[in-house]
Amino acid sequence: MSHERRRPVVAANWKMHFVTKEALEVARTLRRKVGSTAARVVLFPSFPLLPAVVRELVESELEVGAQDLSSEDQGAHTGEVSGRQLKDCGCTWALCGHSERRRDHHEHDALVAHKVAAACRHSLQPLLCVGETREERAQGRTFEVLGRQLTAALAVGPETFSLAYEPVWAIGTGETASPETAQEAHAFLRRTLAQALQERPIPGLAAAALPILYGGSVTPENAASLLAQPDVDGFLVGGASLDPEKFLAIIRVCD
């Protein structure tokens, strides 16, 4: 499957970094310098920064998403943020099931699946994160884990989603997956999705068209060889996205 069929997506996961002033400086620099690019560029700031970043990027090509959302739409859920509220803020994307949330907040596959469904209900593009731990890879369980995480999300019948393959051992460690390792996982995910959709089609969702991003210690230096892989359609970038020049260099790899 060639890249001509799928527009690359380059996403910045800012995690719990920046206060408003800092976030606006980065957003402003990106807006000024990004120019015309082949990639869709999405920023994922923390909740309190969202309104300011959305305002800063209004009428630009840059899109904004939330790092998480509640599986519920409203009600007595102290500390949660709903898809409806995020849509109201001007978000267009939501991360679902990032490994740090699975690890720190015990988000299991079924909950993540309901978050994907909640994002769809509010017209937010879900970016479902999947990935194996170092231990699971060492045990030869990588495909089992990826298959389970993807299949759980499909069970709720999402209208749409994008995928990020983020091997947990590569996140924030400086140990990037090799292009071959990433390709193997991406191809497996696309194959698994194709098989699942054959059995139970979801209108408007096609495995060949689904963007599958790679995440885990992406840098301007390793981005090109990863993107050269046929099933790697872009990046979810943590650490390197905090420096606008590094993030811009990763975006330019797509051009």
Contacts with ligand PGA by CB under 6 A lie at: 13, 166, 171-172, 215-218, 236-240
Measured from the CB of residue 89, what is the shortest distance to ligand PGA in angstroms?
Answer: 21
With CA atoms as reference, report the closest residue to 186 among 178, 198, 197.
178
Residue number with CB closer to ligand PGA (14 or 34)? 14
Residue number with CB closer to ligand PGA (216 or 234)? 216
The yes-or-no answer on residue 166 being catalytic is yes
Residue number with CB closer to ligand PGA (16 or 76)? 16
Q: Which is the catalytic residue, given 63, 98, 107, 136? A: 98
Measured from the CB of residue 122, what is the shortest distance to ligand PGA in angstroms?
Answer: 22
SS3 181: helix
Q: Count other C-beta atoms under 10 Å from residue 211's C-beta.
A: 19
Q: How, if at all, do strands 125-130 and 63-66 pair?
A: unpaired
Q: Which residue is nearest to ligand PGA (CB)?
A: 238
Q: How, if at all, do strands 63-66 and 93-96 pair?
A: parallel
With CA atoms as reference, report the closest residue to 237 among 111, 95, 120, 142.
95
Main-chain dihedrals φ then ψ at residue 44, nearest 5 degrees: -120, 85
The yes-or-no answer on residue 72 being catalytic is no
Measured from the CB of residue 242, what is the shortest distance to ligand PGA in angstroms?
Answer: 9
Catalytic residue list: 98, 166
